Structure 1
Amino acid sequence: MKEELKFDVLIIGGGLAGLSSAIHLSKSNLSVLVIEKNSYPKHKVCGEYISNEVLPYLKFLDIDVFSLGAKKIDRFQLSTTQSKLLSTTLPLGGFGISRFCLDHALAKKALEVGSEILEDSVEDIQFSNDEFLVETKKSNKFKAKIVIGAYGKRSNLDIKLNRQFIKRKSPYLAVKMHVKGDFADDVVALHNFEGGYCGVSKVENDNINLCYITNFNVFKKFKDIQDFQKNVVYKNNFLKDILSNTVPVFEEPLTISQISFDAKKPVENHIIMCGDTAALIHPLCGNGMSMAICSAQIASRLIIKYFNSETSDREALEKQYLREWNVAFKSRLKTGRIVANLFNQPRLSEVLMRGLKWFPSVLPFIIRRTHGKVMSIE
């Protein structure tokens, strides 16, 4: 029988939120274990554009994205299903970097500052006597005072935890690919097509990241991804031009299904949820990576206060995290849902585009509503 190892904080999932938290907490001399089912580096289905709001926090974590090859982005393009295009400057700006690159850099830094990373998957979590007992697929057992859930959009663990959103089937499918070709370094584009939308931006190594989301019921009418793209995605002239004049980097595109935009609880079963595990903003607003990093900062700062006895008890910690999470993200998520609903109606989106051309200041306003403010480091 394996010995139960104890940590101050156990983090389930080693993506952006999990690794950022691990670095932050380890820098404050807490013992941290990250349990991640995949090895690094690994490509993930993701838009790979991040708002500059996180740069001060990444600097605090000793991560320099531009030394890793990130592309500075300060322009935004939006097109409708009828290939009508709008362009604007990004109020805050951002950068493009792959999850392959950024997750790997964060994992190396986490190990460097004292975090432990275990390649395994969590099978069960029990909470009793103000402590967690976590069991993994490889029969490891761990105890921890705090558990952070940072395992992504959906997991079998959500079923075990009886989370409400996992009970509802979601119709969305996402496809991601890297290609080589001609695309401006400083632009992030969002091109709509019937039943979906595609984000386009440069990342390190001059690769172009394309990541689109669509309704699976529409997608399954076609024999494969290529057939779907040629019959649906290509109807947007900008996407047709990009996909027809570039060379794939991956052997096959990456896909993920059952993407849920239903409401989730940021704290469940006393687990502090971060990143996509806490909520998923519509990719149409293109800032999920930034939200994951921001949520890690909020959680880590409050957890450190808890261990330093600056917070009275677990209940106070959970309530404060929920309050700060809502202040940071509730409005963003609401805006994201509204924008996505509007652009899911092709005729209405065309009318909106005409309105945005008449009132160009509205688009930067919407962007600000989904991109937050530059993070402060306390």
Structure 2
Amino acid sequence: MHNKKYDLIIIGAGLAGLTAAIHLSNNNLSILVLERHTFPRHKVCGEYISNEVLPYLKHLGVDPLQAGAKMIDQFLISNKKGATLNTSLPLGGFGISRYALDEMLYNKCKQTVDFVFESVETVNFTSERFTVETQSKSTFEAKYVLGAFGKRSNLDLHLKRSFIQQKTPWMAVKAHYKYDLSEKSVQLHSFDGGYCGLSKVESNAVNACYLTTVSSFKNASSINDFQNRILSQNPHLHKFYSEAIPIFEKPLTISQISFQSKNAVENHIFMVGDSAGLIHPLCGNGMAMAIHSAKLFSELFLEAYHSKSVCRADLEKEYSKRWNETFIKRLQAGERIQRILQHPIAMKVGFGIAKIVPSILSPIIQSTHGKPIVV
């Protein structure tokens, strides 16, 4: 059993958790990261990231382009019948697998950060300190805890967060394929019950990740059946799933994805990444938001920490305020766009307008993205 004390404990080692760990440990804080899975591994993810976070990642000493990330500047969207719209991406982005990016961040992080690969069982806050207990009954103490445990976790149940009490209709499926796709384009193809993103990653594989409703998926007997019958009603997806060669032994899946609002601070735990809020996966902004939220917290925390006069209540209030100012409009825009994609009449009207006035696509895309992070 351990009982070691740290300045801050980070629960979860996704993009937000690892980014925050690098940022904070670079400023001489003792950091522990608790993560139940070892590195590296594949995750259900769109694997396209807006360039808004590229200067910040490079500032931290992590350059995805050195790992072969694909520079992407074109966007193609199709409706269920296969009609398409093309536009250039206002800011652009890059394609890289979570397997590669997480490993890069972890390798950078482990030089200055302690890691324990175990599930967290309980998080208790008493007398202005946290005690975190893991599956092996090891305990760790810190004055602050950062929640970076993703879309949905047993810890959300432990903390009695409101969103976790409600069922959600969304699930996602992801796999890598060998397929001839332009490495400069990210594509979004609609089908009954959802939409599928296609883009290349550093290994030259095409990442295919789709979001769908559970009710739509129940109409099929298996993932292959769903892809062959439902997704393939869109001719672009029919061509892809007919010709693409799977690289994974089987697709990865995740269910009960919640897009409901969450609190940026819960039980005195600061939330980052998907733990703080999840945007509908349109054009590579979820991963950028995760990284951006880590920067937002890290800078605010360091400012307060080095002032030697940290007031927890003020810090929590200010972080919640800044998180909402930075991200709430993006979440709302993503929700509106997702509703249009799922509504046949709205989608038809929207496509018709965009065909006549293609310039409207750029501000729509920008509405779900941030500006480049100034370091």
What is the TM-score with the length of structure 1 in the denominator? 0.98
Aligned partner of 2:107: which letter? K
Partner letter of residue 327 of structure 1?
Answer: E
Contiguous gaps of at least 5 residues in structure 2: none
CA-to-aligned-CA distance 1:223-282 (integer Å, 9 cap, x gap): 100101111000111111111111111010000000011111111011110000100100
Q: Distance in 2 between matches of 1:56 and 1:15?
A: 19
Are positions 1:228 and 2:226 aligned together?
yes
- Structure 1 residue identity aligned to 2:296: I
CA RMSD of aligned residues (A): 1.0
Work out whether 1:373 is the aligned partner of 2:371: yes
SS in 1 for 2:91: strand
Q: How many residues get paired?
A: 375
Please state how far the C-alpha of 1:221 moved relative to its aligned partner.
Answer: 2.2
Q: Do the aligned partners of 2:192 and 2:216 also contact (CA within 8 Å) in 1?
A: no
The separation in 2 between residues aligned to 1:259 and 1:311, in whole angstroms, is 39
In structure 2, what is the Cα distance between the partners aligned to 1:230 and 1:350? 24
- Paired residues of 2:48 and 2:283 also in contact (CA < 8 A): no
From 198, 206, 209, give the equivalent of 1:208: 206
Q: Counterpart amino acid of 2:210?
A: Y
Match of 2:91? 92
- Conservation of the 8 A alpha-carbon contact between 1:4 and 1:142: yes
- Corresponding position of 2:336: 338
Per-residue deviation, residues 49-78 of structure 1 (Å, max 9, x unmatched): 000000111011100101111000000001
Shift of 1:362: 1.2
CA contact under 8 A between 1:189 and 1:200: conserved in structure 2?
yes
CA offsets per residue over residues 11-33 of structure 1, 9 Å max, x none?
00001000000000000000000
What is the aligned partner in structure 2 of residue 52 from structure 1? Answer: 51
Once residues 14 and 191 of structure 1 are traced to their aligned partners in structure 2, the CA distance between those partners, rounded to angstroms, is: 30
Distance 1:311-1:323 versus aligned 2 partners, 3 A rule:
farther
**Distance in structure 2 (CA, Å) of the matches to 1:338 and 1:3:** 48
Alpha-carbon distance between aligned partners in 1 of 2:299 and 2:309, rounded to the nearest angstrom: 11
Do residues 307 (structure 1) and 305 (structure 2) align? yes
What letter is aligned with 1:229? Q
Q: Does structure 1 conserve the Cα–Cα contact (< 8 Å) formed by 2:6 and 2:32? A: yes
Aligned to 2:137: 139
> Which letter does structure 2 place at the counterpart of 1:170?
T
Aligned to 1:272: 270
Secondary structure of 2:261's aligned partner: coil
Q: Deviation per CA, 1:133-186, whole angstroms, max 9, x where unpaired? A: 111111110111110000000011101101000000011110001001100010
DSSP 3-state at the match of 2:278: coil
CA distance in 1 between partners of 2:153 and 2:203 (Å) = 32
Which region of structure 1 is more displaced relative to structure 2, 197-206 or 214-223?
A: 214-223
**Residues 305 and 311 in structure 1, CA contact (< 8 A), matched pair in contact too:** no
**Aligned residues with identical type, % of pairs:** 50
CA distance in 2 between counterparts of 1:320 and 1:60 reads: 25
1:359, 1:279 → 2: CA distance? 32
Which amino acid in 1 is paired with 2:332? Answer: K
Any conservation in 1 of the 2:44–2:253 contact (CA below 8 Å)? yes
Structure 1 residue 121 displacement after superposition: 1.1
Match of 1:326 in 2: 324
**Contact 1:179/1:207, CA 8 A, preserved across alignment:** yes
Report the TM-score when normalising by structure 2: 0.98
Q: Report if aligned partners of 1:45, 1:256 keep a CA contact under 8 Å in 2.
A: yes
How far apart, in 1, do the equivalents of 2:324 and 2:283 lie? 18
Q: Which one of the candidate residues 230, 234, 237 is aligned to 2:235?
A: 237
Separation in structure 2 between the aligned mates of residue 42 and residue 338 of structure 1, nearest angstrom: 32
Per the TM alignment, residue 310 of structure 1 is displaced from its structure 2 partner at its CA by 6.3
After superposing on structure 2, the runs of 4+ consecutive aligned residues of structure 1 that deviate more than 4 Å are none
Secondary structure, counterpart of 2:20 in structure 1: helix
3-state SS of paired residue (1:142): strand
